[in-house]
Amino acid sequence: MKKILYPLALFMALAACGTSNAQSVKKGNAAEAVVETRTDNDIVVRQNIKRPITQLIVKGKSSVMLVYDTVNYVEAVYNPDEVDPLDNEMIVVKGFTLIVDDPDGTGYYVIHLKKKELQSVKNSSGNPIIYVELNDTASRQIELADTAAAGRGTEQDTTYTLTTSNLARQQQVEEARQQLGEARQNLAKTLDRIPLEPIEVVVDDYDSSATSGNGSTTIISYGREYDSYGFEDRAGAAFLWGFNNWGDKWYNGLGKMDGVYELRTSFSSWQLEFTYAVIMTRHFYLDLGIGYESDIYKFTTPLVDIDNNGILVDRVSTYLHNDYDNQTSANQVFTNTTLDDWSSRLVTRYFSIPIDMVFRFDNDFKIGFSAIPALGFSSSHTGLKHEIDNRNLEYLDAENISKHITPYKLDLRLSVRFDHFGFFAQVSTLSLFKEKDVYPIKIGFIIK
């Protein structure tokens, strides 16, 4: 049990780090800037979000407009006589997930998120989300296209046009309030006519201007944004912990081996990797990294040795078979012990260079294929070990057998993850031993 305390502690530390990232978005939070403007009737609050957002969840009766932008922030519009959405935790960030939960629909929320970071949107509010794409001009223009009528076979086609500047900085606060008020009314009127599927207003390389009926000019701009991913998006860490065994071919590790080479399948392999995405898109990225790997192979035979030819042998049958008591009498250290008190294991360590190709799908589902070249090393913690651990005696010896171990290897890994958690299977393409074909396999859990 002592042997797994270090990786277990590391695992719990990584999990704790992930949990500590959760936070509520509140006024006065020093980590996130808040800008507020007031009028006689409404309050407009802008809450900046500095971390990447990969998932948006809308609950309650929230009325939401999602704007694909180059920065992440939320603008909440509400009546000061009603509930404050920030102070009442209606807007919460957990990890890389933004949650908007307005149970009574007291506010209206304009959410600006980076499109290339956002991977999924879940809406259980009962209100449709208005989807808008903007370019990076100083004024932000929004066109809401209602195609529900055409979808029902009628000839009616209604388009609502709304011009907004950066609401938190706009000098004409009253005008911003009126525009958002009109947007809320338009949204309320069209709830039963707006399709539940996202409406994306995206036309490449097109700009136009038009004059509205009240004489004011409304500029409608279309375009796509290709903002780059930063270091915090590309860098990552992974912890893998799994069961291991081996076979006589690279693809049959689960088939085990007979005789002295037979292992007990044990949860005794772990890997720690730090990676950086040299190529990153919305649906694919290529990681390069460095890693550390520890593998412990536990034999079913109590006492396993290795001969001069690099072949494992059963020390029980060669030295102590049916005569253990007579052998221990020559070595008083092992008095009052039995063969069942002994255990043998092989410990290996590696430095690795993982190369990961990861494909991202909707809802944060990921499939990864990895090639992992690695270089082995020897220390006082590696080699062939024999141990007794009972009430009367604790004994451990280690034999350096590095001359019989292949000093390098190349593993292949398949991983399947949802968000940051998943499963992996890893096989070796090279034999662990120089003199005999032995191919390890690992199956377990991954946190990345």
pLDDT digits (tens, 9 = 90+) for 15-29: 444 444 444 454 444
Which secondary-structure segment (H or E) carries 178? helix 173-189
**What is the average pLDDT score of the chain?**
75
Q: In whole angstroms, what is the distance from residue 331 CA to residue 329 CA?
A: 5
Predicted local distance difference test score (pLDDT) of residue 127: 83
Query: How many residues belong to the chain?
Result: 448
Backbone angles phi, psi at 221, to 5 degrees: -120, 140
Predicted local distance difference test score (pLDDT) of residue 432: 97
Q: In whole angstroms, what is the distance from residue 353 CA to residue 359 CA?
A: 20
Q: Which amino acid is at 9?
A: A
Other beta carbons within 10 angstroms of residue 24's beta carbon come to: 15
Judging by DSSP bridges, how do beta strands 365-377 and 408-418 pair with one another? antiparallel
Alpha-carbon torsion 136, 140, 143, 144, what sign? positive
Predicted local distance difference test score (pLDDT) of residue 131: 85
- Please list, in sequence order, all residues whose beta carbon lies within 8 angstroms of the beta carbon of residue 386, skipping any fewer than 6 positions away: 303, 304, 342, 343, 344, 396, 397, 399
Q: In whole angstroms, what is the distance from residue 48 CA to residue 31 CA?
A: 9
Taking residues 185-202, what's their average pLDDT? 50
Instruction: Answer yes or no: is pLDDT of 146 > 50.
Output: no
Is the separation of the CB atoms in 248 and 438 below 8 Å?
Answer: yes
Instruction: Answer yes or no: is pLDDT of 316 > 60.
Output: yes
Per-residue pLDDT tens over the stretch 79-118 = 777 777 766 778 888 888 999 998 888 888 899 999 888 9
Instruction: Answer yes or no: is pLDDT of 6 > 50.
Output: yes
Secondary structure letter of residue 411 according to DSSP: E
Q: In whole angstroms, what is the distance from residue 285 CA to residue 232 CA?
A: 14
Other beta carbons within 10 angstroms of residue 187's beta carbon come to: 19
The C-alpha angle 330, 388, 246, rounded to 5 degrees, equals: 120
- The mean-pLDDT minimum among 5-19, 61-75, 124-138, 410-424 falls in 5-19
Instruction: Answer yes or no: is pLDDT of 199 > 70.
Output: no
Instruction: Answer yes or no: is pLDDT of 208 > 60.
Output: no
Predicted local distance difference test score (pLDDT) of residue 164: 39
Predicted local distance difference test score (pLDDT) of residue 318: 58
Q: In whole angstroms, what is the distance from residue 65 CA to residue 112 CA?
A: 9
Cα-Cα end-to-end distance for the chain: 25
Q: What is the reported pTM? A: 0.53
Taking residues 187-204, what's their average pLDDT? 47
